[in-house]
Amino acid sequence: MVVKSFKEEVRYGTIRIFAVMLIASLFAVSLVVATEMPDPFTAAERIEKLSATGILAFGFILSLGTTAYLIKLQFSKFDTIIEANTRVIAETCRAMEQVQSAINHCRRSNE
C-alpha cells in the first residue's frame, strides 16, 4: 500500500473536485443549449428534446451530488488530521507536566 502525504492527498482531492465540477459545468451548458433550441415540429422531435433535457438535468444533478460528496470527504480528512494533532498536543502537554513535576521533585529533594 502506498502511503501519500497529507499535501498529496489535498492536491489529488482538489483535482478530483475540480474535475467533477468541470463535468457539472459541461452538463449545465449542454442543458442550457438543449432548452434554448427552437421548438420541434413533430411529436418525435419533442420527445427527443425532452429526453435529452432530462438526461442532461439528471447528469447535472448527479455531478453536483458527487461534488458535494467529494468536498465532504476532503473536509473529513482535515477533521481527522486535526483530531490526531490535538491528541499529540495533549499527550505532549501531559509529558511536559510530568517532566516539570519531576524537576520540582528533584529541586525539593536537593533543598
Digitized pLDDT (tens) for each residue of the chain, 111 residues in all? 444 677 777 788 888 888 998 998 888 888 888 878 777 778 777 788 888 888 888 888 998 898 888 888 888 877 777 787 888 888 899 999 999 998 888 888 876
CA distance 87 to 24: 39
What's the pTM?
A: 0.60
CA distance 46 to 73: 40
Domain residue ranges of the chain, discontinuous segments joined by +: 6-110
